[in-house]
Amino acid sequence: MPKLVLVHWPERQSLEDFQEIARRIEARAQDIGVLIAENKKENPEILASIAGRPAIIVSMMELRRFHPENAVVFQGEDLPKSVQYERYRAAGIPVPDWEVITPDTKLEPKEWGPYVIVKPDLARKAAGIVIKKTGRVRYAGPETYAEDHPGRTAPMVAQKFVYTGRWANHFRVTTLFGRTLFAVHCEADRGFRPLESRDGFAGAAGVGGAPVVSNKKSSHYTLAFDEEVIALAERTHTAFPDLPLLGHDIVRDADTGELFVLESNTRGDVWLLSSGTGQSLQRTNKFDLYGQFDALEVATEALIAKVRAVFA
């Protein structure tokens, strides 16, 4: 009997979620045994129980103290955006044109449009993202950025701006091994000045104008059921077959209707069902991520399928 070890992060997922998933798996897949390890512990009893036996380790985020040997491991990894974009292109996933900014970078407005997004190759929570006039994009050395700016530790990337409407908005779809657990739509606070067109920014960096990042504290979230968006998110997961839990940021061009994947949270810190951030999001916006697509049931089915595929 193969063993499935779910690695629990106390601050990121409730233990009850994993216990319920384990109960469901064992109730319908008697060929799979489920164990739950804690990532901040070495878990010697679990290591002993899987020694010499076929085992799969699933950790939504990167393993820390728990280090099993001779097991198939699926864990989150914080991949640079440039690596993600290369994988998207290889998998045929629509992604806006992009380029790592180097000393030789010179972007032509005729090709890139009047404005581009400039963002750090490695950053979280939209840190360091700005809008710039295309002709003014220039390389800046790491030492020129503030001490807490992500540009000090990773390159900056220029990405073609996608106009999503008068108020910036995007979809966030969270998938487990390619199955959608939940999906939300996020729109910037309408208290900001609307952006009437893709070239309607005020000033070189949009100073005093509309925001280009929609996931602010004041943003409005709703459950999303757009089948085209969800299908794209599930297809996007195929570019990362070894990463279990992903959060995909997807936008729709307001003028053409085209969908693009802006980036994926590959670190795996997106179990919003029961994390503190996720619980707050659900309370504030008055919706239930568990019930949208029956997330724990989807997780159960996805994990059973993954174990059986690995040991087929």
- pLDDT tens, position by position, 68-110: 988 999 999 999 999 999 999 999 999 999 999 999 999 999 9
**Planar angle of CA 27, 28, 33, nearest 5 degrees:** 65
111, burial (CB in 10 Å: exposed 0-12, middle 13-18, buried 19+): exposed
Interstrand relation of 169-176 and 245-252 (parallel, antiparallel or unpaired): antiparallel
What local confidence, expressed as pLDDT, does residue 169 receive? 96
What is the pLDDT of the chain when averaged over all its residues?
92
For 3-76+294-310, CATH gives 3.40.50
Is residue 203 over pLDDT 50? no
For residues 96 and 160, the answer to whether their CB atoms sit within 8 Å is: yes
Is residue 208 over pLDDT 70? no
pLDDT band at 215 (very low <50, low <70, confident <90, very high): low
Is residue 202 over pLDDT 70? no
Is residue 300 over pLDDT 70? yes
Q: Does domain 81-267 have CATH number 3.30.470.20?
A: yes
Residue of 225 and 151 predicted with greater confidence = 225
* CATH code 3.40.50 region(s) in the chain: 3-76+294-310
Is residue 288 over pLDDT 50? yes
What local confidence, expressed as pLDDT, does residue 265 receive? 97
Is residue 207 over pLDDT 60? no
What local confidence, expressed as pLDDT, does residue 96 receive? 97
pTM above 0.85, yes or no: yes
Q: Report which of 29, 32, 55 is spatially closest to residue 43, judged by C-alpha positions.
A: 55
Instruction: Enter the tokens of residue 144.
Output: 């020129």
Alpha helices by DSSP H, listed for the chain, are: 15-28, 44-50, 81-91, 109-112, 227-236, 276-285, 289-292, 295-310
pLDDT band at 216 (very low <50, low <70, confident <90, very high): low
What local confidence, expressed as pLDDT, does residue 48 receive? 93
What gap in Å lies between CA 93 and CA 206, rounded to an integer?
29
What local confidence, expressed as pLDDT, does residue 191 receive? 82
What local confidence, expressed as pLDDT, does residue 292 receive? 98
User: What average pLDDT does this structure show over 242-268?
Assistant: 97
- Chain centroid, CA 293 distance in Å: 18
pLDDT digits (tens, 9 = 90+) for 31-49: 999 999 999 888 999 999 9
